Amino acid sequence: MKVVGSIPEIRKILREIRLAGKTIGLVPTMGYLHAGHLSLIDEAKKHCDFVVISIFVNPTQFGPTEDLDKYPRDFKRDEKLAREHGVDLIFFPDAAEMYPKPFFTYVVTEQLSKTLCGASRPVHFRGVTTVVSKLFNIVQPDVAVFGQKDAQQAIIIRRMVGDLNFPVQVIVAPIVREADGLAMSSRNVYLSQEERRQAPIIFNALKSAKEFVSKGDRDASAIGKLIRRTIGGSPLAEIEYVEIVDPITLENVQNIERGTFVAVAVRFGKTRLIDNVVLID
Ligand code: AMP
């Protein structure tokens, strides 16, 4: 497994790979790998000959008061996990390599980046679409794999790839959860013991909403209230949003239909957790 920090160097290596007729898969990450990331690597391996993961804590997707500096990092551990998982190359650039000064160009997916997480994180998705565009241009993957955990991000990236004709196939892999249902996230390490104990309430609420829908309830407003009430049962949970939305426009729906999903953001102390489920698959 190679570890490469420089853009000219990764380009040179990948040119050879392409010349040898191999297909390339990319899994963009911010590191501090967990089983969710590893499932994306497995998915990429199913579709490609050569798997690249990027590990880059992307400064442009963090707001000024967010956790950029304290975002968990452990490159040695990530390197070991990636090697054990059959990754072929880790792209591990520093911020100066990705954002040489001056830097003036951003990619923005209008509309979709303003709702849900975009409402409280106004620069977040601009940072995501910009860095993912850069990674697509650097790696030129045949396939890129993202997680359903960040449902809005996956929808925005699909839209961007379609709108801007990036020649890459986007695959979205299912959410990997802890045994008690909490969606895996690098940020889960921020949770105190008590917060961690209460956090599975989020998935419990989403699961029971899905059960209600499967019994025939299609009223988004009633299902939204049910979810709020359930999560509200945890004294440490502070709901940022519960939205039941269309998977293409991310607009709120009144009636739940196939593909409609519920997305939530909930704070436990200083930690912001997100989760989602598709209500009718
Ligand atoms: P991150 O390192 O948090 O930026 O995540 C990198 C990629 O891993 C994104 O496409 C995420 O959606 C995906 N991911 C993060 N957590 C999970 C999870 N629990 N299950 C599946 N994919 C995940």
Question: Which pLDDT band, with edges at 50, 70 and 90, does 172 fall under?
Answer: very high
Give the C-alpha distances (Å, rounded to integers) separating 259 from 205, 243, 245, 277, 279: 18, 14, 9, 10, 7
Instruction: Compute the C-alpha angle 206/172/60, nearest 5°.
Output: 90
Query: Which atom of ligand 1 has the smallest separation from the CA of 183?
Result: 19
- Residue 37 designated active-site: yes
Question: Which pLDDT band, with edges at 50, 70 and 90, does 2 fall under?
Answer: very high
CA of 179 to the centre of ligand 1 (A): 17
231-250 tens-digit pLDDT: 999 999 999 999 999 999 99
CA of 215 to the centre of ligand 1 (A): 31
Q: How far apart are CA 161 and CA 155, in angstroms?
A: 10
The residue nearest atom 12 of ligand 1, judged by CA position, is: 147
Q: Go through the domains of the chain in sequence order and give each one's CATH number.
A: 2-173 (3.40.50.620), 186-278 (3.30.1300.10)
Q: Which residue from 64, 22, 76 is spatially nearest to 45, judged by alpha carbons? A: 22
CA of 163 to the centre of ligand 1 (A): 23
Q: How far apart are CA 119 and CA 241, in angstroms?
A: 10
Q: What is the dihedral of CA 20, 130, 65, 91, to 10 degrees?
A: 10
* Cis geometry, peptide bond prior to residue 102 (ω within 30 degrees of 0): yes
Residues contacting ligand 1 via CB (< 6 Å): 29-30, 36-37, 39-40, 146-147, 149-150, 173, 175-176, 183-186
Q: Which residue from 42, 41, 61, 39 is spatially nearest to 53, judged by alpha carbons? A: 41
**For the chain, what's the residue count?**
281
What pLDDT, on a 0 to 100 scale, did the predictor assign at position 26? 99
What pLDDT, on a 0 to 100 scale, did the predictor assign at position 147? 98
pTM, two decimal places: 0.98
Q: What average pLDDT score do residues 253-280 get?
A: 98
The residue nearest atom 6 of ligand 1, judged by CA position, is: 29
CA of 150 to the centre of ligand 1 (A): 7
What pLDDT, on a 0 to 100 scale, did the predictor assign at position 150? 98
Query: Which atom of ligand 1 has the smallest separation from the CA of 148?
Result: 12
Question: Which pLDDT band, with edges at 50, 70 and 90, does 108 fall under?
Answer: very high
Question: Which pLDDT band, with edges at 50, 70 and 90, does 77 fall under?
Answer: very high
The residue nearest atom 7 of ligand 1, judged by CA position, is: 29
Question: Which pLDDT band, with edges at 50, 70 and 90, does 226 fall under?
Answer: very high
Q: How far apart are CA 29 and CA 27, in angstroms?
A: 6
Q: How far apart are CA 265 and CA 241, in angstroms?
A: 5
Q: What average pLDDT score do residues 130-151 get?
A: 98
Mean pLDDT of the chain: 98
Q: What average pLDDT score do residues 205-225 get?
A: 97
4-54 tens-digit pLDDT: 999 999 999 999 999 999 999 999 999 999 999 999 999 999 999 999 999
Tokens of 92: 């591990």
Query: Which atom of ligand 1 has the smallest separation from the CA of 149?
Result: 12
Half-sphere exposure of 48 (CA within 13 A, CB side): 30
